[in-house]
Structure 1
Amino acid sequence: MATGTDTRLRPIAWCVAFLVFAALLFSRQPDALLHAELWGDEGWSFYPDAYNQGWRSLLIPAGGYLDSFQRVVAVLCQPLPLHLVPTAFAAIAFLVQLLPALFLLSERVADFLPRMTPRVVLALLYLLTPNAMELFLNLTNTQWLLALLALLVVIGRKPDSAAGWAFDAAVLTLSGLSGPFALMLLPVSAWRWRQHPSPAARMRFVLPALCAAIQIAVMLGALQDTRSHAPLGAGPRMLAQILAAQVVLASEIGWRQAGPVQILPIWQNNILPVSLTLGAALLVGVALLRGPVALRQAALFILLMLAASLVSPQVSLDRPRWEIMTHMPMGNRYFAFPVMLWMASLVSLLADRSRVLRLVSVLCLLPILFLAIPREWRVLEQARTDFAIRARQFEAAPPGTRMQFPLIPTGITPMQLVKKQAG
């Protein structure tokens, strides 16, 4: 690292950071790379659609919107033997998951994180976030991580090179066309453009706006056919239990340890969920008021994402969906970003001028660091199937052969392929 006030990393430091972050991420679920499996939409939509339709598959909605990044990857992986495809998908998801952590170390975030220590802390907390297993090393949910990277691009400094401009444009476009997140990013982009008018800020508004318009057009035509129609089961009691469990308990003690808490009478009568939810909301609100404007902008994006997730969660096709989400880790992809906001707010308060707030933030961070993260370090062991065996059989089979392939999570509808003529 450079001396003085310059906190730019030298090339050797970037290499060390990459290796350390990659080792940490790998250690959380080695099987996801060493014994990769296709996960959910990878086998339902992305790979079979690319296999059957090639580049035309980019126009097919999944979940009510375009998932362009996943579909581009699926098309590019078509030349690979089928048994290697899960590993290729997992490796790409691995690299995508590293990108936000590496971006946090760059000078692009120096306006709101001028010192390197908070950057490293936030990068590590991101990589070790509890209750985020659905985002972990699968191509299906890379759209969430691309959305986080797009947020960092929008609230960060403008690029100072042609490569930086190209990176920003690629991230904003791929993220905007992969999931509905451009709609939530648009208010933040407008805020930043108004705050710091520049050609870079204009580009960071125009690209999400164009992507949002495309996604809205797609959603208007596809949403009713692809989203769950199960009852929502919404209500204040359920909301308090969801947020207290999926955000506060999950981040403070880990979801594996939350079960005994949720059977206590004080939980069942909603006293504890309401207290935890209101207390955490109050502390986050104080951090937002006293912290940098970038934290408020990130909070706006995350809260819009949370609202959209609660309005239309895809967690069940028949049971009340809010009730499902009171049981961790169900639907934890919807709450990983609120957990990150909670942790970022606590880190922000560590530098507050109020001794009381610094003490409170330390008391809240200690359980995260010494209970939740160590206990949730290893993500649930990934199930193994006979996908590789079946894939090799399929590769050797004559054209016209129809086969089914198991996916994870186990028990879900398998992937079906019909062998095509070579070439």
Structure 2
Amino acid sequence: MTYNTRLFPLMLCTTLPLSAVAAEGGFFEDSSATLQARNYYFSRDYSDIVGPSKQSKAEEWGQGFILNFKSGYTPGTIGLGVDAIGMLGLKLDSSPDRVNTGLLPVQDDGRAADDYSRVGAAVKARLSKTELKVGELQPNLPVLSFSDIRLLPPTYQGASVISNEIAGLTLQAGHLVSTSLRNEAGDDKMQAIVGYQPQRQGTSDAFNYAGADYAFNANRTTVGAWYAQLEDIYNQRLISLKHSEAVGDWVLGANLGFYDSAEDGKQLIGELDNQAFYSLFSAKRGGHTFFVGYQGMFGGQGFPRVFANVTPLGNEVPTYEFASADERSWQVRHDYDFAAFGLPGLTTTLRYITGDNVDTGKGFEGQDWERDLDIGYVFQSGALKGLGVRVRNVTARSNYRTDINENRLILNYTLALF
């Protein structure tokens, strides 16, 4: 069991004084704690890899537990509090020829660890409608999405501030110094992915960001402007627009964004030049939601992001990213909520994405496509009430990267402790 021990002195120094005044305010009264149990089976068949020296399949099964505690705030002009998280992952099935699913850490002997865990906390302070957090963080930002797509979620260590002093305007900024990946117990420096390829030759111990989102038009329209820097690797700017509009029985939506990225500082992974435009339009009526999206990569390289995160790009999915150099991609998607059919809790997503015009650097045009089917159900009553079951099936094909057949089975249950 590995702990985020650097945070313990900070936790002790702050929580002990807090306990003396907690009874006077909402420190305990407004606190909450949940325990999430997550059972995760993951199978990814790399169907075009053959030969005894290459791994042709990644397949593992694990059980995860995620304990979240969020306190209220002490009374006074500046309220103080603590958020804490504890995570435990257990191996249920794995073997050396099926590792690297992202569910479990891989040891030096090539085998998955039997278990891994981590504990962390963040001290928080609130003044008016502005909140500062220092410690273990799980940011969800347009420039650093919260990628909870495996057994345990990733975390970051650093400081963040969120301000909502002006109606409709949300300001955010932060400085992160390390990360705990989704299948790791300890802290480590941050790396980048460019397109679909991890850039392991360079690491950074600072991710800085600042951004603003302004919602207006009865919150139907939101515009955003963001800046991010993975120090000495890349810097990035984003402008975005989201809008929804009711038209008769339909609700129409648009999600547009433009990223501009370049190399930063010491250029540890070399030069970077990427401009990424994404658009995703939706039309909802009853239980049906239809989507169509277009995404384009421009410049000399693919889209950069922090390893191993997904991004808000309209055509990115957890298998293929459609973010390679010069790639153009289209998406069609249909979601259905069976509550409209009298079956609450049952939802489906069917999606098809195709991309081309990829600069492979090998003298030919890269092309890829992916088909996803997701089926989810949350039990509404009985002994299993609240248990969520999700099945995911993927077929992905490419002429310049590995073909994939993928299946996932995820069971989630969250218990509110208080």
Q: What range is the shorter-chain TM-score in? A: under 0.3
Structure ranking higher in strand proportion: 2
Structure ranking higher in helix proportion: 1
Q: TM-score, normalised by structure 1?
A: 0.27
Higher RCO, Cα 8 Å, sep 6+:
1
Q: TM-score, normalised by structure 2?
A: 0.28
